[in-house]
Structure 1
Amino acid sequence: MTPTTISPAHHRSLGDHTWQDQAVCQSTEYNPVDPEIFFPEPDETAKITTAKSLCGQCPVRRTCLDAALEGGDTDGIRGGMTQEERAPLHEKLASRLDYSRVNATVAGRDVHLTKAERRAVVHAAYRHGLSEQRLAWLLKITEEHAQKLYRETRRALRNRHLKNSTTTTAPSEAGGERLGRDDFGTAA
C-alpha cells in the first residue's frame, strides 16, 4: 500500500503578489503571451478557449481565482473562469468557510478571511486559549474589540450549553397539568 500525504494548503497572504511570477500567463522571452486573450468579448470563443487552456496548465490557478474573488475582480478570465462563471462565486464569497484558512490564520499566517471565517477564527482562538492580545494581532483589530468578541463567544457557548441542558430535562408539571406563563408571577 502506498502511503498518502496531504500537503497543507498554501493560502495567499494579504498583499502577496509573488504567486504571479509562477503564473503561466506571465509573458517571458521564451513564452510570449498576449494579455489580451484574457479579456475577450463574450462572443470571442477562440480567445476564451485559448485563455482557459493556459489556465488549465497553471500551477497557481487556484490562487489566481482566490485573488480575483477576494479583490472583487469581475473582468476577464481569472483562475480558468470567465467573469460569468465567477459571478455566482462572487455572490457566495462572504459565506465561504474554509477551515484551512481558519487554521492558517490561527497559526499566524496573514490570510484574507471572509466574515464567516473571521467568526470561526474567534471561536478557534477562544477554544485554544489564545490571549485577547493574540486574537487582536491575528485579526488586526484592537484589543478592546478582541475582548468584545471573546465575551460574545463565551455568551454564545454558555447559551448553547444552557439550551442543550434544558432540552434534555423533562418539563415541570403541577398536578399533572402543564404550567403556563401566568403560573410564574412577575419579576420584582
Structure 2
Amino acid sequence: MRPRTSHDAPNNLDRPPHWDDSAACKASDEPDYWFAEGSDASAIAQRHEAKRVCGSCPCRTSCLHAALERGESSGVWGGLDVNERAALTLLPSARDPGKEAADAPNAIVDEDEEVPAGEEGGQAPEDAATA
C-alpha cells in the first residue's frame, strides 16, 4: 500500500478571490474586442470599445500591472493596447537615443518645459552659491 499524499486530497476548496473576478470584460458580450488586430475601421472600433469598457472597470490598474509583468504581446489590457503598453516600458532615452538623458539616470524630462534660471547645471539655486 502506498502512502497517502496531498495529490490524494479532495479538491473541494473554493478558489481564493482574484482581481479579475470583478473585471468588466468578463461580462462583455464581445470578448474578441479585447484582441482585435489590424488597422481597419472595424478593428479600431472594437479596440476603442474595449478601452471604453476598461475605463470604468474597477480592476483596470491590476489588469495593466499584470499585463506589463507578463509582457502581454497582444490585446487590450488595463485600457491600453500593445503599442501603448510598449511606450510605458521604454525609458525616454530609449525612445529617442539621439537626446541626452537627464542628470538623474531614470528622470523623465519634459522637453517643452522651461528650466528656471539658475537650474541649468542641475543644481538648485541655493546649492549653486555653495558649490
Q: What TM-score, normalized by structure 1, do the two folds share?
A: 0.36
Runs of 4+ in structure 1 over 3 Å off: none
Within-5 A mapping of 1:81-120:
81-92=80-91
Counterpart CA distance in 2 for 1:17 and 1:73 is 22
For structure 1, list consecutive stretches of 5 or more residues without a partner in the other structure: 1-15, 93-188
Note if contact 1:74-1:86 (Cα within 8 Å) is conserved in structure 2: no
The one-letter code matched in structure 2 to 1:37 is: Y
Match of 1:35 in 2: 31
Distance of aligned partners of 1:17 and 1:65 in 2 relative to their CA distance in 1, 3 Å threshold? farther
Counterpart CA distance in 1 for 2:87 and 2:17 is 24
| Residue 56 of structure 2 corresponds to residue 57 of structure 1 | yes
Match of 1:152 in 2: none
Match of 2:122 in 1: none
Identity value in percent: 40
Distance of aligned partners of 1:19 and 1:72 in 2 relative to their CA distance in 1, 3 Å threshold? same
Counterpart CA distance in 2 for 1:17 and 1:82 is 26
Counterpart CA distance in 1 for 2:67 and 2:23 is 14
Counterpart CA distance in 2 for 1:17 and 1:88 is 31
Distance of aligned partners of 1:26 and 1:46 in 2 relative to their CA distance in 1, 3 Å threshold? same
The one-letter code matched in structure 2 to 1:42 is: G
Q: Which has more radius of gyration?
A: 1
Match of 1:25 in 2: 25
The one-letter code matched in structure 2 to 1:83 is: V
Q: CA deviation at 1:72?
A: 1.0
Note if contact 1:39-1:76 (Cα within 8 Å) is conserved in structure 2: yes
The one-letter code matched in structure 2 to 1:18 is: H
Q: CA deviation at 1:57?
A: 1.0
Q: CA deviation at 1:19?
A: 0.4
Counterpart CA distance in 1 for 2:29 and 2:84 is 23
Note if contact 1:64-1:79 (Cα within 8 Å) is conserved in structure 2: yes
Deviation string, structure 1 residues 62-94 (Cα, Å, up to 9, x no partner): 1100000011112100000010111122335xx
Note if contact 1:72-1:90 (Cα within 8 Å) is conserved in structure 2: no
Counterpart CA distance in 2 for 1:60 and 1:69 is 14
Q: Which has the higher helix share?
A: 1
Match of 1:153 in 2: none
SS in 1 for 2:74: coil
Q: What TM-score, normalized by structure 2, do the two folds share?
A: 0.51
